[in-house]
Structure 1
Amino acid sequence: MSVEPEVVHEAVRLADAAAGAAGVSVRSAEPGDLAAVIGLFERTWGVGRSPDRSMLLALDFAGNTVLIATAAGKPVGATLGFLGWIDGIHLHSHMSAVVPWQRSSGVGYALKLFQRSLCLQHGITDMRWTFDPLIRRNAHFNLIKLGAEVVRFLPDFYGRLDDVITGSDRSDRFEMRWRMDSPRALRALAGTPQPQWAVSERLPLDVDFERLRADDPAAAARLRDQSRRLFDAALSRGLRPELNANNDYLFTTDAADRLPDA
């Protein structure tokens, strides 16, 4: 499908602005960048947790999004995405890594917006990925900053990972869908406040789950159990997760594209 030229132009402008605000340059990786991309992924998930060079080279050669962000010529972030066709053609954004000293500085946002601009240039309007719903900053980034929406709850999606981030915790995930030219996404990218959602259920998320998992694994396991029961029950009843101003989950039957309150 084609995307209106003005939408593509604005996507490129937003991606350039995000990179400028983060102080980085974002581009498609070249073969000589792949060792750095692997290093960024392994720094985040652990040695051996990155696709190897030949796989990255093949994905890149086929035109998938293997992206790198640099600051002062040094690699500080990388993203990997590839095309899928379940429930329609889309880009599955699989991995994104940023060096620890650049996290929360806008590098991840710049990578995502560059990835979005590439997709729209090629007529792809749908991007999807999974994330751990208990990681509060990622929930905010996905739902509020990007305007993506939750479409499925996937309990223990990857099985036991034993990586640097997850350890032995269960790999529960939300599947996200980012309709990149939708009114919801455009409002989020413009910084427009969300509606006041009609609420059927709530889940307070007022903890740093990663710290809790490290400091009190038993408490983390209880929260995982509680959230799993709530997510499974709420989504099976047709409720959608959103976030309120405190970044707590609320569950609603409101349409994802509902206009903000006047």
Structure 2
Amino acid sequence: MVEIRTLHTTHELQLVQKLEKTIWGMEPIPIHQTITAVKNGGLMLGAFIGDEPVGVSYSFPGYANGKSYLCSHLLGVHPDYQHKGIGRKLKEEQKEAALKLGYTMMTWTYDPLESKNAYLNLSKLGGICSTYVENCYGDMDDSLNAGLPTDRFKLEWWIDRQFIIPKCEKQFKIPWESVQEGMPKLADVDSALSGIGDCDSVYVPVPSFFQELKQKDKLLVIDWRMKTRKIFQTLFAKGFVAVALEREQTGPVHYYKLVKQELMGVEKHEN
């Protein structure tokens, strides 16, 4: 049985440091930073099976334009325990703890090509996104990011409300094509964007299994990065917001659903 605990002591933080190394293969966040954050409005949560940590969530306070929010910096689950709902349990506990601390919004970044994360963040948790950050963390040499610009979606999770995704009559789906071994490739971006017109909903494909595609064809993955970068930046500039990741039952792509921001009744959070 998985138990979620709020961590406060240096000993507890040392336990999750070892877990960080296992998950990401990088040096963990220094304890002098995390202990300061958790004593000043931040949160470090651990998912435990018995006394063994198998998941971790870390966040710290943010502030912009007269408003405070919680910056969720990392969330990870031990490789042996992934796909068991632990990540979602950590986010749900993080939400409850954040509300008790007085936060109404949480924000974090994730790679928009990682459809698994997109499904959790948008479709399961109800986050939204209208901010695209190019090469957010610069060049990284870990197994997940090496050789690719670290572009990120900056997600907003309004934990004090729930948005209703509107029904849209005028829809457009960005086209893609199948290339060698059935791998997916986006068509010409300029041609695709010209077809949006006055649509109030746009569906943008992304690879179903991004890391597997990366192992097969790095040039194709870079093509996905640069083309989706232009697509998302263009759509966000036109007032669209990403609200869901719709998974296909079969096939090499899933689809982001983006709708006009005014239909959601939410203003862009500037920071």
Question: What's the TM-score once normalised by structure 1's chain length?
Answer: 0.81
User: What is the DSSP-based 3-state SS (H/G/I as helix, E as strand, rest coil) of the residue aligned with 1:204?
Assistant: strand
Is 1:122 aligned with 2:130?
A: no
Task: Give the conservation status (yes or no) of the 8 Å contact 1:44–1:164.
Answer: no
Q: Which stretch shows the higher mean deviation, 126-135 or 204-213?
A: 204-213
Question: Aligned residue pairs: how many?
Answer: 227
CA distance in 1, matches of 2:73, 2:118: 16
Higher percent of residues as helix: 1
Matches within 5 A, 1:239-250: 239-243=240-244, 245-246=246-247, 247-250=254-257
CA distance in 1, matches of 2:14, 2:45: 13
Task: Give the conservation status (yes or no) of the 8 Å contact 2:122–2:245.
Answer: no
One of 142, 147, 162 as aligned partner of 1:168? 147
Is 1:103 aligned with 2:65?
A: no
Question: What's the TM-score once normalised by structure 2's chain length?
Answer: 0.78
One of 250, 259, 264 as aligned partner of 1:256? 264
4+ residue stretches of structure 1 with deviation over 4 A? none
One of 68, 76, 79 as aligned partner of 2:46? 68
CA distance in 2, matches of 1:225, 1:244: 20
CA distance in 2, matches of 1:75, 1:256: 38
Letter in 1 for 2:123: I
| Alignment match, 1:141 | 120
Deviations 1:44-72 (A, max 9, x none): 22231x21122222222324101111012
One of 65, 79, 96 as aligned partner of 2:57? 79
| Alignment match, 1:12 | none
- The offset of 1:80, in angstroms, is 0.7
> Of the two, which has the highest radius of gyration?
2
CA distance in 1, matches of 2:125, 2:110: 14
Matches within 5 A, 1:1-262: 23-29=1-7, 30-48=9-27, 50-87=28-65, 88-184=67-163, 194-198=165-169, 199=171, 200=199, 201-243=202-244, 245-246=246-247, 247-253=254-260, 255-256=263-264
Task: Give the conservation status (yes or no) of the 8 Å contact 1:153–1:231.
Answer: yes
User: What is the DSSP-based 3-state SS (H/G/I as helix, E as strand, rest coil) of the residue aligned with 1:91?
Assistant: strand
Identity percentage of aligned residues? 26
- Give RMSD over aligned pairs: 1.9
CA distance in 2, matches of 1:227, 1:151: 14
Unaligned runs of 5+ in 2: 172-198, 248-253, 267-271
CA distance in 2, matches of 1:215, 1:241: 28
Unaligned runs of 5+ in 1: 1-22, 188-193
Deviations 1:136-185 (A, max 9, x none): 0111101110001003111111111112211121111111111102122x
- The offset of 1:31, in angstroms, is 2.0
| Alignment match, 1:190 | none
